[in-house]
Structure 1
Amino acid sequence: MPQITVDYSHTMEAAFDRAGFARALHEATVEIAAAKPEACKTQFRPGAFTAYGYEDPAEHGHAIVHVTIGLLAGRSDETKARLTQTVLELLRGHVAEKGFALHASAEIRDLDPSYRKFDR
Structure 2
Amino acid sequence: MPHITVDYTGNLADAFDRRGFATALHPLVAELIDTKVEACTTRFRRSDEYVLADGAPERALVLVRAAILSGRTCEAKARLSEAVLELLPKHLAPSPGLVVQTAVDVVDLDRASYRSRTEPAGER
TM-score by length of 2: 0.88
Counterpart amino acid of residue 50 in structure 1:
Y
Structure 1 unpaired stretches of 5+:
none
1:87 maps to 2:84: yes
| Whole-Å separation in 2 of the counterparts to 1:21 and 1:76 | 25
Q: Give the CA deviation at 1:115.
A: 2.0
Instruction: Output the TM-score relative to the length of structure 1.
Output: 0.91
SS across alignment from 2:14: helix
Per-residue Cα deviation, 1:5-45 (whole angstroms, up to 9, x for no partner): 00010110100011111011101101111111110000000
**Do 1:15 and 1:96's aligned partners in 2 also have CA atoms closer than 8 Å?**
yes
Residue 66 of structure 1 aligns with which residue?
Answer: 63
Q: Which residue matches 1:110? A: 108
Name the CA distance, whole Å, in 1 between partners of 2:53 and 2:33: 35
- For the pair shown, which has the larger CA radius of gyration, 1 or 2? 2
Cα RMSD (Å): 1.2
Task: Give, in angstroms, the shift of residue 118 of structure 1.
Answer: 2.3
Shift of 1:50: 2.0
Aligned residues: percent identity? 42
Count of aligned positions: 117
After alignment, is 47-56 or 75-84 more displaced?
47-56
Q: Does 1:41 align with 2:38?
A: no
| Secondary structure, aligned partner of 2:113 | coil
Higher helix share: 1
Query: Are residues 1:98 and 2:99 paired?
Result: no
